[in-house]
Homo-oligomer: A and B are copies of this chain.
């Protein structure tokens, strides 16, 4: 029986390019009188990862912002008025090609990490080394959905975890074979962690404890390939 404990990592200071983010995470957890244990999943918003990596753009005007959105987009999916739904180079489909002006200094915007899996792997390795544990790491962003109002957090970079949990070939309790049941557990982890993080409170990370999940999936495995995409 799986039971989860999810708690926020508070007290991470404002992150600047080149900062020791892994060290910040470890120190913040210690300050809460907590300690990471093997199997824990550290969930962290891409915003602090991007800041650490210097993925910050100056946005002196709305026109510059608009231009940056077009530059970050590999493909425009829909456009209506000022709203641009675009696919990023990573393959994510989201508003404004994920160029984000919230939780960042006025006149600037945060871009996604260039290679979010690599960012997750680096962070994971550093935290594991400092704590002597084996972990998973999920880097998140906040996306809208086409037919449902409201935003949810999703995974945009992972390390030490499976991309999809494949139930194919297993049977339900009635003996029916589960044919196309691949669960996007890393997205469910991102969503769960957001419940304790919160966009207005500036808490950028959380620990999900109790999931028995490890693997070496890539976030690219979560991107639906063009030939399966009915909403291009």
CB neighbors of B among A205-232 (8 A): 211, 221-224, 228-231
- In the complex, which residue of chain B has the Cβ closest to the Cβ of A184? B150
Q: Are A194 and B188 in contact (CB under 8 A)?
A: yes
Interface string of A25-37 (1 = CB under 8 A from B): 0000000000000
| Size category, A interface | 35 or more
Does A154 reach chain B (CB closer than 8 Å)? yes
Q: Are B149 and A164 in contact (CB under 8 A)?
A: yes
Q: Are B182 and A106 in contact (CB under 8 A)?
A: no
Does A3 reach chain B (CB closer than 8 Å)? yes
**Identical chains in the assembly:** 2
CA distance A183 to B161 in the complex (A): 26
Q: Are A148 and B154 in contact (CB under 8 A)?
A: yes
Does A10 reach chain B (CB closer than 8 Å)? yes
Interface string of A169-188 (1 = CB under 8 A from B): 01111111010011111011
Choose one: B3, B188, B224; the contact of A153 (CB below 8 Å).
B188
Does A57 reach chain B (CB closer than 8 Å)? no
Q: Are B106 and A174 in contact (CB under 8 A)?
A: yes
With A78-B231, A194-B188 known to touch, is A182 a contact of B151 (CB < 8 Å)?
Answer: yes
Which of A63-71, A112-120, A196-204 binds B? A196-204
CB neighbors of B among A1-45 (8 A): 1-8, 10
Residues of A within 8 A of B (CB): 1-8, 10, 78, 80, 83, 85, 87, 92-93, 101-106, 142, 145-154, 163-165, 167, 170-176, 178, 181-185, 187-189, 191-192, 194-196, 198-202, 211, 221-224, 228-231
